Structure 1
Amino acid sequence: MKKLSMAAAVAALCLAVFASGCGTKESKSSETGGEAATQQQNAKSWSSAPAMTIDKSKTYQAVFKTDDGDFTIDLFAKEAPITVNNFVFLANHDFYDGVKFHRIMKTFMIQTGDPTGTGSGGPGYTIEDELNSPYSYEPGIVAMANTGTANTGGSQFFICTGEDSKNLDNIPNYTIFGKISSGMDIVQKVADTPVKASERGELSVPTQDVLIRDITIVEK
């Protein structure tokens, strides 16, 4: 795969438009979001972003169990507290369990976090961007996906997997909130999943499912 141009990089990371008009099957109270969570096609949804509950003086890790193996992300609670708080909230409510990696570009990134698996799903709300990061895009960096406009992140995120991700340093529009600390070989294994062309011709649609089975948050 050739190195992406700036235009291609911008287009490639204009990620999922969040679904609207969610139907409700059942409700249960949210422990930290302060809103009723709804169940729609096995996906939880909230009407507002979660309240801040993490402690920025502590460290947080996310331990992933996937069909291809396990990996760990060090979360940047100090640098991106809103985003990390949101991710911890969703992980602790099992939002990501059973969600697949729906977009894979081996030398660029792998994307997940959409419970519908279509690239258009989210948690029912959006969060603010946190773009003043001391970190640069490189393999292992984890960042929020968005719709291409400000403050539209929700649940979808991507993990950088190759040299093409470095092009994003020139268009830093995605909140960086973590980095792989162990299991990068597993991340690369996910990136090796065969893909086919999307409806718009992008070679990024996995031909076989790789699912997140569980995410455990470790607080220290």
Structure 2
Amino acid sequence: MAEIKDPENTIRMETTKGSVVIELFPGVAPAHVARIKELAREGFYDGVVFHRVIDGFMAQTGDPTGTGMGGSEKPDLKAEFSNLSHVRGTCSMARSQNPNSANSQFFICFEESPWLNRQYSIWGQVIEGMENIDKIKRGEPVQDPDKIISMRVVADAA
């Protein structure tokens, strides 16, 4: 079991493949962390599928339409690029060509992806359950995709 240092900045995501714990980085991407927590608290991610899953690269989710074209009704976020690296378990925001277009979609890296560094806003790191992310069905789009059952801020479950 991973040690949860700050329940207010930790997410527990239940997926169809098992539980995943994500440590949030409010000091690195405060607006993105605030958005992830806000959407999690609203139940926005519950039932959302992993619509784009590329072997050896990443699993993407966070689109309520399941198409890769949707997002929340909240305004897009300004980029919060950092010097952190995209490594195995990195949680980072998906976006369009516009760097300031992140909204609700995010991805989790299966392995190191250095070409993403300083191009996407990193907001967290998987600290437990990466083996469950590894089990998510692959595809673009995924046939009969795995999904997020629930995604909650750990502090709220106490």
Query: Please, what TM-score do these two structures have when normalized by structure 2?
Result: 0.89
The gaps in structure 2 that reach 5 residues or longer are: 1-5
Matching of residues 1-220 of structure 1 within 5 Å: 60-124=9-73, 125-131=75-81, 133-163=82-112, 165-169=113-117, 172-190=118-136, 193-195=137-139, 204-219=140-155
Larger Rg: 1
Corresponding letter in the other structure for 1:212: I
What is the Cα deviation at residue 91 of structure 1? 0.4
Preserved contact between residue 55 and residue 138 of structure 2 (Cα < 8 Å): no
Preserved contact between residue 52 and residue 138 of structure 2 (Cα < 8 Å): no
Tell me the SS of whatever aligns to 1:206. coil
CA RMSD of aligned residues (A): 1.7
Aligned length: 150
* Deviant stretches of 4+, over 3 Å: none
Corresponding letter in the other structure for 1:211: K
The gaps in structure 1 that reach 5 residues or longer are: 1-56, 196-203
- Distance in 2 (CA, whole Å) between partners of 1:59 and 1:129 is 23
Query: Please, what TM-score do these two structures have when normalized by structure 1?
Result: 0.65
- Distance in 2 (CA, whole Å) between partners of 1:80 and 1:142 is 11
Question: Percent identity over the alignment?
Answer: 37
**Greater RCO (Cα-Cα under 8 Å, separation 6 or more):** 2
